[in-house]
A and B are shown apart, each in its own frame.
Chain A
């Protein structure tokens, strides 16, 4: 019968498959194990055979790199880290936590969300070990965003710097333009470029269900510069109203670029094209010479078309979004995720401590495309020029770091009316009306 004669063939095929895959595993393992020096992991040992579940918004290639970064840790300690990345992380995490199905650890990019879990008692404060490690490796500026009422709930992991303006070094060299050092110089440069016949700025804030967020970054950067980091803190914590005159002034200053038909939107049209241009595409006209300046975070490095050289002497690079008055210090806006635990098993705390260590920061940085504010991070391990610049800025003791306000505010504002308000604002609504609207939506 045909059936019985086909069977051995199947079995052979399966066996070959198994052997092949085993061989593939074998090469991987021997590469890791023979070189691994487990001495560095001594303090995390003693949890062999346990597993820790991590949930985050990190997916695809970034997910693979992350898993690679803790491979050695897993081998040496015997703790199995299971990472799951989800595109619906922000909406799903509360559902999982409230439903009693919380992950052991979540990488939470919103301090606002940490506050929510801390208030409900679902998040666990970090262990003494993690706290010591975090305090040694991160500045107080960073740690307070992972803390609620003075209790640390999570150390930072990855970070990004948002106060960047992308430009083309080759275009600047050709035209003889200089990287501006102050807000006034930036406006002057914009005028020069506009006079040259190109719209200087390209902006895009469309981002699916998060449409509007790039514009909130703009405004936050302006509040830090036009007002001050202190006013920024009060604004974030709602100690001053959202529609405070100093915030209105900052928004109006941003409007000098964003609502100026002469300045925007290079390669896409007029001011109204901003809200429908996707943030991924928004900077690309720089490579086509259709615009010259694009304010966006360090992670925009991954959005350039293939074969675009991102370097100080390359096709594109970024400069620090200049301060209004550089003599008062240089504020930096940024973001990052925090390693928050929902369980206090010792292996979970060991992973938490490890992720706050320089050991992990350097291991992850070596794999590429990563920035962290970890002080132990050796810039020599950061290959990408824009990442290195970001790390240098974050590690600079002069830097006044502030976390992305929209991630700290309550989600109904930070991920709701603030985003929406900015879309309305750029589409022609006036500053006062928009700010009044957001203020009235602040949860009481």
Chain B
């Protein structure tokens, strides 16, 4: 198709509007931030009163946009979703706990809950363990930075991209044809038969978990490696003088010292795992018993038009995340106090 200036002109006009709007909004904000505090300041000086109250007003002024955003983007939808979860498919009438009852009564949804549990147990555990081992092993090694970038690289790939890469690893071609999948090639090298990896539960869920671990291990490694480097040299030296062996050094010195970082890593990965959606959707679409809560939530809320059930799944997911978040906040508080 040729580029047709006349045809595209309204798009260009749109672009121009966008730019103008951007300038107006940003300029306006800067102006506001400049004008309002100085106006409050002037008033304070004019009235010659000590500035406690105006400071409160100033704080409110700065907090307001954030509160508004959180309100519109988080609080209102959360409340509304919770409400919808007690209503029927078309959100017309109240059905009480029916959607929640459905969630636990339906065989395939129970399967979905089980799958999500498998994910939440295995991913943070494996990713953290692998990341930790790697961080300890490459610490002060010769090619540390190269070795670290290698395992950190998957972090830069989107979940969808990673799933497509791994789809090729697990790929299967019919009998008599050349196999293009890495895994099948490896199996064949050792004399095995090629197979369709993503077809049979529970193996397929485990194979999908591998993708997530591949992405998250890099994250765990970077945080933990930084924490290891931050262990004060004198502790390490003292331990050395006391004659610890490598294992004792790891278990008694390294591990306790990096505990806060370890908790952050496990919590962050756990939450990411609870919400996992892209990998399952890209790899199997939730077929072959691999579906997880987030995938089922999307399917019910949008393509199926079962708003009530979709919302119930969303609320359930939310409830599952809450204890993890509370644990994380409590830990942070303890650290600050201690």
Chain A residues engaging chain B, CB cutoff 8 angstroms: 14, 17-18, 21-22, 24-25, 90-91, 94-95, 113, 116, 119-120, 208-209, 211-212, 265, 267-270, 272-273, 275-276, 410-412, 415-417, 420, 423-424, 427, 437, 440-441, 443
Contacts and interface: CB of A to CB of B under 8 A. Distances in A.
Overall SS of chain B's interface: loop
Given A116-B305, A411-B303, A427-B288, A437 B107 contact: yes
Nearest to A433: B107
Q: Which 3 A-B pairs have the closest CB atoms?
A: A412-B304, A269-B174, A268-B174
Interface string B40-67: 0000000000000000000000000000
A120 B90 CA distance: 8
B106 A440 contact: yes
Given A18-B5, A269-B174, 8 more contacts: A21-B5, A25-B6, A211-B285, A276-B172, A276-B199, A416-B304, A420-B108, A420-B286
Interface centre among A14, A95, A209, A441 (most CB of B within 10 A): A209
A416 B285 CA distance: 11
Contacts of A269: 174-175
B336 interface: no
Contacts of B334: none
B174 A91 contact: no
Contacts of A95: 302
A423 B108 contact: no
B288 A423 contact: yes
B196 A273 contact: yes
A411 B108 contact: no
B106 A441 contact: yes
B4 interface: yes
B2 interface: yes
B6 A22 contact: yes
B305 A412 contact: yes
A119 B90 CA distance: 9
Contacts of A211: 285, 287
Contacts of B89: 443
A276 B174 CA distance: 10
A437 B107 CA distance: 8
A24 B199 CA distance: 53
Contacts of A437: 107-108
Contacts of A268: 174
A22 to B, nearest CB: 7
B299 interface: yes
20 contacts: A17-B5, A21-B6, A21-B7, A91-B302, A91-B303, A120-B90, A209-B285, A212-B287, A269-B174, A269-B175, A273-B172, A273-B174, A276-B199, A411-B303, A412-B305, A420-B108, A424-B288, A427-B199, A441-B106, A441-B108
A24 B287 CA distance: 50
B300 interface: yes
Interface in B283-308: 285-288, 299-300, 302-306
A417 B112 CA distance: 14
B311 to A, nearest CB: 13
A409 to B, nearest CB: 11
Contacts of A18: 5-6
B275 interface: no
Contacts of A270: 175
B196 A94 contact: no
B148 interface: no
